[in-house]
Structure 1
Amino acid sequence: MAPTPPSPRPSAPAALEPPVALEPAMAANGIGSFDWDLRTDVIVGDARACRILGIDDPAEHPELPPLDSEGFLALLHAEDAPVVRDRVQRAVAELGQCGAYYRTVFADGEMHAVRFRARVLADQQGKPSHMVGFVWDATVELHKRVRADRLAMVREERTRFIKEAARALSEATTMQDVARVFTELPLPGIPPDGLILAVLDSGRIQILRSTGYRPEAPAPPDHVPLDSDHPAALALRTRTPVFLGSRREYQERFPAVWERVSDTTRSAWAFLPLVAGGRPIGVCVASFYEDRALDSEDRTLLSTLGGMVAQSLARARLHDAEHELAAGLQRVMLPRRVPPLPGFTSAVRYLPAGTGLQIGGDWYDVVPLPGGHVGLVIGDVQGHDVHAAGVMGQLRIALRAYAAEGHPPAAVMTRASRFLADLDTGHFATCLYAEVNVDYGAVYAVRAGHLDPLVCRADGSSAVQPVAGGLPLGIDPENSYPVTRFTLDPGEMLLLCTDGLVETRTVDIDEGMEQLRHAVGGRELQGPGALEALADRIADAAADSHERDDDIALLLLRWDGPAEARPRQLRRRIPQADLEQVAEVRGELRDAVRRWGVGELADTVELLTSELVTNALVHTDRDALLTARLYREGGPEGPARLRVEVDDESDLWPKRRTPGEQASSGRGLMLVEALADAWGVDPRGTGKRMWFELIHRQP
């Protein structure tokens, strides 16, 4: 049995006429119909379809050429035409359905949107002949889509803005940094014409920073009391934002303060309270030149921004308070100024650690000593925190007191070590103490675990000066410290510093000292501002280093030479239990009298001084204080009188004896009486003073 042949497909009608029953429904919904003859490429539509497509109705304009596929595609938006073409071609090839959404621009330039649905019909041979379908206006959807796209873009911009604002505010350290970041933020969608950040201080709202206000324009209100009828005060009291969309609204809601802002050119305001930890700390204000009714999303954005600013401001306020406390504590701990020193020029610098509270245990000090000499101190208490700073302050005062009492350098350092050990703080300290003689530039230095000093010579060279060292202070109260003596020539400089200047995470101390030596070598050291300029250069280089994590103390001292107009004097305290100091004092006194121009008296003064000092130390249980002075009688050409005094606290007076030939002692006062031009013993309330004088006459 032969197979049954397939039934023929329905052919396209000669003219597309919608059923009469569908016409009211199509008219009510604004739906038009069209017929596209695929064989002749002619598109025919009813009146509604023509209006929707934005073309002339052929029934009303028979003179116009019929619409073909290329003419139809030319009506479409350039981005939509390829999509429609592909879908039509696929439907024709498959004898199926197609639908599309496209945009078209009418003759008046207005953008419209159209949707259509169609089916391809085949002729009796099964080939595509017509595409028939419906078309309706989708411009409303287009507007909704445009608005949705715009809103999505705005939301994306605001999300990105919130992230950028959060990042910038998190990096703001001080209150001024927070104010700068806030007033420079570009708010998306609602760019304000003016921004103000104000803080609450002592019951008043004070402006911290503002932007967008011209100098010639009325200034925004400042120092507003919290209990006033002002929108900023209301926002803070209620902790609720205050939005004013027009000048009229401002005047109606706040008539008491309207007069103060009536001259401004602003027309809308947003007052956002800044609340952190449940406490109001300030307010930020956004203002606009035109009336602005902020919608819910705008208000949400501003409120979110206010919350972030509040948290950053609270953190920055705490940081500023801690920094001010640390800086104030450091200022109290360190000398407020270096006193003027005849014969010397000095410069000092202190740089706090780059992290934490920026406070530490490094210190410097310059101590005027009897006889015009000067004591230099540089030290570093372990750690760079408040505890270390407190220990440093106590140790600095104690060491300064020991030096000012006239104790020799070794005794100063020993007593300071014992003092720190008695404090029982758990901290140790490194220190270098140097006593510089103004008359002849001799330096007596002791070192307790600290860096050696650097000496810059007059010829431009520089070198590390080795100083014999001992244990850091506070470790062994009975530790003794050897003294190293070296000299400076006029115009030469002594540099003392702490390890923070020469040691970093990547540079060890030896390498750092070598770099410092090269940095100061060849620098100009003369002139009134040379040392200050050098100190600035060293401190600036250290401050710019990103690897520094310790505080720095720096002390520069230049010996300018003996001060001729000042009386010549040498004063030394000699510990009772340290007879070795007698030899050092004799040598120093010999150098002094030679420097003073009476070197012929050196042997005699050394002998007599040794007798008086030894007598005071052997026959008492206290320290002795030596003072030597040179006076000129009758002008520069007159005789010089050298007076040496030895003070002790014993009430026992010396007795002159007549020793036998074999006696090993008892001749001290006989030598003094025989060689001195004058001598004597004077009471001093507690103790006595033995003295002698030698006269030197010009040849």
Structure 2
Amino acid sequence: MATEPEPQGPARRTPPAQTSRSTAPSSVLRTAPGLPAGRIAPAAARGLPTRTGDSTPDWLEPAMAANGIGSFDWDIRRDVLEGDHRACAILGLDPKRFDRSSAAFLALLHPEDAPVLRRRVERAIAELGQCGAYYRTVFPGGGMHAVRFRGRVLADAFGRPSRMVGFVWDATVELHKRERAGELAALREERSRFIKEAARALSEAVTVRDVARVFTELPLPGLPPDGLLLASLEAGRLQILGATGYTPDSVRPYDRSLLDLTHPASEAIRNRAPVFIASRDEYRERYPEAWARISPDNPRSSWAFLPLVASGRAIGVCLVSFDDDRELDADERTLLSTLGGLVAQSLARARLHDAEHELAAGLQRVMLPRTVPSISGVTTAVRYLAAGSGLQIGGDWYDVVPLPGGHVGLVIGDVQGHDVHAAGIMGQLRIALRAYAAEGHPPAAVMARASRFLADLDTDHFATCTYAEVNVDYGVVYAVRAGHLDPVVRRADGSASPVPVAGGLPLGVDPDEEYRVTRFSLDPGETVVLCTDGLVEARGMDLDTGFARFCAAVCGDLPARSESPYDPLELLADRITSQAADFTEREDDIALLLLRWDGPAGGLAAQQLRRRIGQADLARISELRGELRDALRRWGVVELVDTAELLASELVTNAIRHTDRDAMFTARLYREASRDGGATGRARLRVEVEDESDLWPTRRTPGEQASSGRGLMLVEALADGWGVEPRGTGKRMWFELSAEN
């Protein structure tokens, strides 16, 4: 409650024969436990004689009557209140029911005001002074009224407080003004708080969908709307982004529709100023053509169309509607206009973000493989996670390349940088590396050519990369690493460990760099895991710790295929990436590639080995001999290993030395069948080497000191059969060996 300052009474007067001032007030307080200021019974109503000495003077009565002022007289010692008829009307008293005591009067006051009034009256009595107050009373009907009073304490002949006389007047209008001012102050504070909360929520909205959600959930203070709608303007068409209070059927005709020039939304956008419509009649009068298209079932009766203007350009419109007629005041219109400005800025920022994100996502989709090829004998799974901040595009990539002979190449790489430039370089490098691999070049040559290609681009960028060629028939992996992370192999028992691979410089650093190949084998059910450094690096965590955590995520149990509808490899990929997805401030993107070697169908290895041997690639010949040995062991013809290895090496070396093109090596094992379809137990190995040279081999008779010329002699002596066959371009040399199972 608002109260006036407590007035200070005049100095107490003490007649010569007066007793001590400290005794008189205390005795009065004991006789009057409640000290009021206004609920009084008129003397006339009680039949009391009118006072003469203290009555209102005749000359003052007209002025008091004209101003609605009543007078009162309180006998402090007897605790009896008296007053004129105006005082009773102002206080809402019923003289017949009011007992004229101060306690009864205080009981009628507002609980917050009674203690204040008591203190002021007590002080006035103690000081023989005057006091005044503003207080609220509750009329018998429950109405709240306000009263102002001012009174003075009079002393008797001995200087003791005897009576209080004064005036009262109605202050209910002032009460309403104060209440209204308080309500307006609270509403202004609520609106200010709303603007702050709306600005905060809209600033946190990242996408257009977020802006639409925040807008349609805003609780407008003081004027709760019945409908909210947000629409953007694209090429003269409205696109509904979000709505509340409207059914989908009611807004569907306006979605993607041309903006009608006669519609109030069009006027708001055209003039860059809000349009407020207070009633349906006003809508019909101002916009008759637009009103004709409104459904009769539309419950709205007032509208506010707020243009969304950002950087001087209209980008959309907000609609705020009400079910009742509403003439918005200046403060409400200012609030809505401010809200429209906040939404416009947030929507413009969100549209730019969505456009950048769509550009980045589209570019990334083009750069990365659309699908991973399905290759018999292996199962693959891939994942790509964009960075948690920035343009969400980078130079990380993966690829799965089908190779000649049914083999498969795995590529994982990361171009330096995290921007569109890095993504463009990544796309070029991925295509080049894929082309080199698909041509059948060995891993070391693929990596060397890719490094030279990146250096020739002259972009001042480098790239880390791991390329692995997997022999699908036998589970043999040939890996080459250029400044990248080592691959991790998950064993069949669930354990996992990195495989050390001989490393070289990142691609593009030294165009003449030669890369070494590391060979390792997989058993059926084992998985090769390749990833980029975004999965193992994080702020506040070193590389070793991150790589150890990555290996821990790779190992562990997985549900069996019968326990889950998803392939365990997909579940493993999700588990690995989930730990990286927890880092919302991840600064680098992530590429992940997994390949599980399922083993040959039926548990038996395929009966064919096919490899391309690059020109002058002598290291490839050594690798081929190892693969042939593994193949023959798996095929169950171990007795042919030594002879087949020697003769194959001779044919391949002869093709490489005497031609200037690559050679294609093929080994097949045939099992002869009996008439009833069963196997006879005889196996026949046929080895072929094709080249594009028209120069046929010539059998020579070298001397004892000759260093060459014995290849065909060995083939003729050790093979069960051999020959040379012409092809369209070049020739095919072959030999056959037989074995008994």
Displacement of 1:221:
3.8
User: More deviation in 471-480 or 185-194?
Assistant: 471-480
Runs of 5+ unmatched residues, structure 1? none
Alpha-carbon deviations, 1:255-280, whole Å to 9, x = none?
Answer: 22323332212222211111111111
Q: Quote the residue 1:692 is aligned against.
A: 734
Displacement of 1:99:
1.1
**Alpha-carbon contact 2:694-2:731 (below 8 Å) kept:** no
Q: Quote the residue 1:343 is aligned against.
A: 377
Runs (4+) of structure 1 exceeding 6 A deviation are 5-9, 215-220, 564-567
Cα distance between partner residues in 1 of 2:124 and 2:664: 120
**Alpha-carbon contact 2:489-2:529 (below 8 Å) kept:** yes
Alpha-carbon deviations, 1:210-233, whole Å to 9, x = none?
Answer: 112356878674334224422222
Alpha-carbon deviations, 1:472-493, whole Å to 9, x = none?
Answer: 1111222211111111112221
Cα distance between partner residues in 1 of 2:16 and 2:494: 116
Query: Is 2:207 the counterpart of 1:167?
Result: no
Which of 584, 592, 598 aligns to 1:554? It is 592
Match of 1:482, SS state, is: coil
Displacement of 1:673:
4.5
Cα distance between partner residues in 1 of 2:484 and 2:194: 53
Cα distance between partner residues in 1 of 2:231 and 2:276: 17
How do 1:53-452 residues align onto structure 2 when only pairs under 5 Å count? 53-56=91-94, 67-214=100-247, 221-258=254-291, 259-452=293-486
What TM-score comes out, normalization by structure 1 length?
0.91
Match of 2:221, SS state, is: coil
Alpha-carbon deviations, 1:167-215, whole Å to 9, x = none?
Answer: 1111111111111111111111111112111111231112111112356
Displacement of 1:499:
1.8
Match of 1:260, SS state, is: coil
**What amino acid does structure 2 have at the position aligned with 1:467?**
V
Alpha-carbon deviations, 1:474-522, whole Å to 9, x = none?
Answer: 1122221111111111222111111222222243333333333333324
Q: Quote the residue 2:545 is aligned against.
A: 511
Query: Is 2:696 the counterpart of 1:662?
Result: no
Match of 2:321, SS state, is: strand
Match of 1:21, SS state, is: coil
Which of 633, 643, 647 aligns to 2:687? It is 643
Query: Is 2:583 the counterpart of 1:539?
Result: no
Q: Quote the residue 1:484 is aligned against.
A: 518
Which of 585, 588, 603 aligns to 2:642? It is 603
**Alpha-carbon contact 2:486-2:500 (below 8 Å) kept:** yes
Q: Share of identical aligned residues, percent?
A: 67
Cα distance between partner residues in 1 of 2:698 and 2:590: 56
Runs of 5+ unmatched residues, structure 2? 1-13, 19-50, 674-678
Q: Quote the residue 2:28 is aligned against.
A: none
Taking structure 1 as reference, are residues 464 and 71 closer, same or farther at Cα in structure 2, changes over 3 Å only? same
Q: Quote the residue 2:621 is aligned against.
A: 582
Match of 1:392, SS state, is: helix
Displacement of 1:66:
6.1
**Alpha-carbon contact 2:669-2:684 (below 8 Å) kept:** yes
**What amino acid does structure 1 have at the position aligned with 2:267?**
L
Q: Quote the residue 1:571 is aligned against.
A: 611
Match of 2:450, SS state, is: helix
Displacement of 1:40:
2.9
What TM-score comes out, normalization by structure 2 length?
0.86
Taking structure 1 as reference, are residues 623 and 449 closer, same or farther at Cα in structure 2, changes over 3 Å only? farther
Cα distance between partner residues in 2 of 1:228 and 1:329: 38
Query: Is 2:678 the counterpart of 1:671?
Result: no
**What amino acid does structure 2 have at the position aligned with 1:229?**
T
Cα distance between partner residues in 1 of 2:540 and 2:166: 80
Taking structure 1 as reference, are residues 233 and 514 closer, same or farther at Cα in structure 2, changes over 3 Å only? same
**What amino acid does structure 1 have at the position aligned with 2:620?**
Q
User: More deviation in 588-597 or 299-308?
Assistant: 588-597
Q: Quote the residue 1:27 is aligned against.
A: 65
**Alpha-carbon contact 2:644-2:737 (below 8 Å) kept:** no
Match of 1:505, SS state, is: coil
**Alpha-carbon contact 1:115-1:137 (below 8 Å) kept:** yes
Cα distance between partner residues in 2 of 1:483 and 1:425: 27
Cα distance between partner residues in 2 of 1:25 and 1:304: 51
Alpha-carbon deviations, 1:32-70, whole Å to 9, x = none?
Answer: 22222333333222221221122246xxx6xx7762322
Cα distance between partner residues in 1 of 2:441 and 2:591: 24
Query: Is 2:75 the counterpart of 1:37?
Result: yes
**Alpha-carbon contact 1:568-1:596 (below 8 Å) kept:** no
Cα distance between partner residues in 2 of 1:413 and 1:8: 123
Number of aligned residue pairs: 682
Taking structure 1 as reference, are residues 547 and 205 closer, same or farther at Cα in structure 2, changes over 3 Å only? closer
Displacement of 1:408:
0.7
Match of 1:167, SS state, is: helix
Match of 1:474, SS state, is: coil
**Alpha-carbon contact 2:15-2:159 (below 8 Å) kept:** no
**Alpha-carbon contact 2:609-2:628 (below 8 Å) kept:** no
Taking structure 1 as reference, are residues 627 and 99 closer, same or farther at Cα in structure 2, changes over 3 Å only? same
Q: Quote the residue 2:7 is aligned against.
A: none
Displacement of 1:630:
1.4
Displacement of 1:378:
1.0
Displacement of 1:698:
5.1
Match of 2:666, SS state, is: strand
Cα distance between partner residues in 2 of 1:145 and 1:220: 49
**What amino acid does structure 2 have at the position aligned with 1:80?**
D
Cα distance between partner residues in 2 of 1:275 and 1:261: 29
Query: Is 2:630 the counterpart of 1:591?
Result: yes
Alpha-carbon deviations, 1:287-338, whole Å to 9, x = none?
Answer: 2222222111111111111111111111111111111111111111111001
Taking structure 1 as reference, are residues 308 and 271 closer, same or farther at Cα in structure 2, changes over 3 Å only? same
**What amino acid does structure 1 have at the position aligned with 2:497?**
A
Taking structure 1 as reference, are residues 245 and 65 closer, same or farther at Cα in structure 2, changes over 3 Å only? closer
Match of 2:246, SS state, is: coil
Displacement of 1:139:
0.7
